[in-house]
A and B are shown apart, each in its own frame.
Chain A
Amino acid sequence: MSAAAIASKLTIRHAGMSYGDLVAIDDCNLDIAPNTIVSIVGPSGCGKTTLLWAMSGLHRLSRGDILLDAKPITGPHPDIGLVFQEANLLPWRNLIDNILFPFEIKRQTPDRDWINHLLDRCGLLGFEQNFPRELSGGMQQRASIVRALSLRPQVLLMDEPFGALDAFTREEMNRLVEEIWLETKTTIVFITHSIEEAIFLSDRVIVLTKRPGRVQSDYTVPFVRPRSLETMASKPVFDLTNLIKADIYGIKPTAAAAE
């Protein structure tokens, strides 16, 4: 085992995924260091979601491996948490029963102190008895984050979690994810369509190519955390945003900067 593989929390090795004749992902390689946030961006249909689902162990790759701590993932893994595109709460359960759902499935005793702390962090204390339809979209997605974190996963996979939310709620959620990360240092893989969101959250932004998906570019995001409004409005952030956009749309950076 090479040194690089050991230092990496999550490793994608020669990943390929085909659906019949359609090659969604081809020879995709990526090392994700522990305690970092890595965003994956790319045009629609570049296989971002497919890749994430393979990392979750819910879908098998056609080719290649995904390793967690250098061990191949063969199915759903207790150390990997998943946050879906929509909150995906069970509508017939109230909030707290939704959060306890994983423990029910795993027949584990929940850590109530930790869950209460998370609920507090996410501004959901006092809403435990409410049903999902009584909560706003943002609250529902926060509940699903609490559900995913309640098991203290080492890796949190987030599949465009805030795509359906309005811009204000989305920004709030981004700050929440950063706060939680600063506290837990959970390794996060974040799929998004929003470059701004990717830069705000991530230590690294990975751009995938259009089908078949593979790594096109790999950007390091060096800005200090917590990332303030001033930082996010600064020239380096602006430049990086344009650079990544230009990269995705295949246009020259200068043209993008002028837009």
Chain B
Amino acid sequence: MSNAIPEFSKSGGGAGRGKIGLNNMSAFAAGSGSRTRAEILAIIITAIIVIGSIEGALVWFEVKEYILPRPSAVAVALVKEMPLLLPHLGHTLIQLFGGFAIGASIGLILAAVITQFPFAEKIIAPYILILVTTPMLALVPLLILRFGFGYEPRIIAVALACGPMVMINAATGFRRVDSAKIALARSYGASTLQIFWKIRAPMALPMILVGLMIGAIFGLLTTVGAEMVGGGFGLGNRLTTYSSMINMPEFFAVIAILSTMGILIYVFFFLVGKKWASWEA
């Protein structure tokens, strides 16, 4: 913070005041109102045409099922295998939520604390960058050696993948100090804690939500990856099992479930952002 004559005009944006709000990265945001019937119809027809042409092309060119299964075969496999897959889905969800809850909480708290101390932040920054850029999947074999084939190594890997992602984004949010708004709170005698909860936290919220969303999606990636490395349960384990048995329709059924999970994560945070951070628009 410069020590010059106070200049409280304009919206005093701090360091990372980039507009990376949720609204910028959403395909859903286009046409924020409710969709018209024509739009819904167009979306359904497009989906039918796309899936239908894939189906048709696969039949026409007589592509073998073990190379690429037809969408109809995948749908059948999805329904048929669902009772078998559900417990695995359960395991995956437990690991994802467990790891995400731990990683995101630690990431959020660290971001909130560290941004209060710019000097400490500078010292810690490189390590955070290493944590963000290193694929935590690489650690899974090591974690399995130490913790066995249960939930633990996977939850740890997920937490390690989520935490830094949440932290780096939340820190960007917390750094967006608007000195005029803090001065406003101080002029009413606000305490440091009140300034945090009533000014800093709401200002950071849009970036925190972006961080949580990216963290959750990285978490899903890491969960499935960790399951593929070792252990006898989880959707990732199903992927390796089905592919080793060349059960391609079942393999793609699992992929479909994973895509759906990813989309649900995205939609969830998009809706939360729309409700609580729409002022950013």
Residues of A in contact with B (beta carbons under 8 Å apart):
19-20, 22, 24, 45, 47, 49-50, 53, 56-59, 75-76, 78, 80, 82, 84-86, 88, 90-92, 101-102, 104-106, 131-133, 151, 159
Q: Compute how far the CA of A182 lies from the CA of B90 in the bound complex, rounded to whole angstroms.
A: 69
- Determine the chain B residues whose CB is within 8 A of the CB of A53 once the complex forms: 6
**Measured CA separation A56–B188 after assembly (Å):** 10
Produce 1/0 per residue, B180-215, CB < 8 A to A.
110111111110001000110011010000000000
Q: Tell me whether B181 and A90 are in contact (CB under 8 A).
A: yes
Residues from chain A with Cβ under 8 Å of B190 in the complex: 105
Chain A residue nearest in CB terms to B202: A92
Q: Which of B187, B203, B280 contacts A56 (CB 8 A)?
A: B187
Q: Complex formed: what's the CA distance from A45 to B279 in Å?
A: 34
Q: Tell me whether A58 and B183 are in contact (CB under 8 A).
A: yes
Once the chains bind, are A19 and B4 in contact (CB under 8 Å)?
A: yes
Whether B279 pairs with A84 at a CB distance below 8 angstroms is: no
A231 to B93, CA, bound (A): 75
Residues on A with beta carbons closer than 8 Å to the beta carbon of B188: 76, 101-102, 105-106, 151
B11 near A86: Cβ-Cβ < 8 Å: yes
Interchain CA distance A22-B2 in the complex, whole Å: 14
Which of B4, B9, B181, B205 makes the CB contact (< 8 A) with A85?
B9
B6 & A105 in contact (Cβ 8 Å cutoff) = no
Considering the complex, give the chain B residue whose CB is closest to the CB of A148.
B187
In the complex, A73 Cα to B239 Cα: how many Å? 70
Query: Counting chain A CB atoms within 10 Å of each CB, which of B8, B180, B184, B190 scores highest?
Result: B184
A24→B189 contact, CB < 8 A: no
> What CA separation (Å) do A159 and B187 show in the bound complex?
14
Report the Cα distance A92→B205, complex, angstroms. Answer: 10
How far is it, in angstroms, between the C-alpha of A88 and the C-alpha of B181 when the chains are bound? 6
Contacting residues, chain B, for A76 (C-beta < 8 A): 186-189
Determine the chain B residues whose CB is within 8 A of the CB of A92 once the complex forms: 202-203, 205, 277, 279
- Is B10 positioned at the interface, with any CB of A under 8 Å from its CB? yes
Most chain-B CB neighbours within 10 Å: which of A59, A90, A102, A106?
A90
Q: Give the 4 A-B CB pairs with smallest separation, nearest first.
A: A105-B188, A91-B279, A102-B188, A92-B279
Q: B187 contacts which chain A residues (CB < 8 A)?
A: 56-58, 76, 80, 82
20 interchain pairs, CB-CB under 8 A: A19-B4, A24-B5, A49-B5, A49-B6, A50-B5, A53-B6, A58-B183, A59-B6, A75-B189, A76-B187, A76-B188, A84-B184, A85-B8, A86-B10, A88-B180, A88-B181, A101-B184, A105-B185, A105-B194, A106-B188
